[in-house]
Amino acid sequence: MEGGRRKRSAAEAAALLERLRVDAGVLVRRFDLSLRSLDAELPRVRRRYGVCYSDGSIRIRLRHASTGQPLKYSSLVNTLCHELAHLRHFNHGPRFRAFYERILEFARAEGIYRPGLAFDPDLEPGWETPVEVPHPMRAASVAKRRRGAADRAASKPVQLGLFG
Encode pLDDT of 129-160 as tens digits. 333 334 444 445 545 555 555 554 454 444 44
Residues in the chain, how many? 164
Q: pLDDT tens-digit profile of 56-67?
A: 999 999 988 888
pLDDT at 160: 40
Contact 59, 39 (CB under 8 A): yes
Q: pLDDT tens-digit profile of 98-112?
A: 999 999 999 999 999
Residue 161 domain-assigned (yes or no): no
Count of domains forming the chain: 1
Residue 91 domain-assigned (yes or no): yes
pLDDT at 3 over 60: no
CA angle 34, 40, 45 (to 5 degrees): 115
Residue 160 domain-assigned (yes or no): no
- DSSP letters along 53-91, please? -TTSEEEE--B-TTT-PBPPHHHHHHHHHHHHHHTT-SS
- The residue with greater pLDDT, 54 or 119, is 54
Residue 56 CA, chain-centre distance (Å), reads 17
Residue 163 domain-assigned (yes or no): no
Residue 65 domain-assigned (yes or no): yes
What stretches of the chain adopt beta strand conformation (E)? 37-40, 50-52, 57-60, 117-119, 128-130
- 37 has which bridge partners? 57
Q: What's 67's domain CATH number?
A: 3.30.2010.10
Domain interval for residue 39: 2-153
pLDDT at 126: 41
Residue 11 domain-assigned (yes or no): yes
Q: pLDDT tens-digit profile of 109-123?
A: 999 999 875 544 444
pLDDT at 2: 52
pLDDT at 6 over 70: no
- 113 has which bridge partners? none
pTM to 2 decimals?
Answer: 0.68
96 CB neighbour count, 10 Å cutoff: 16
Residue 79 domain-assigned (yes or no): yes
Residue 21 domain-assigned (yes or no): yes
pLDDT at 7: 61
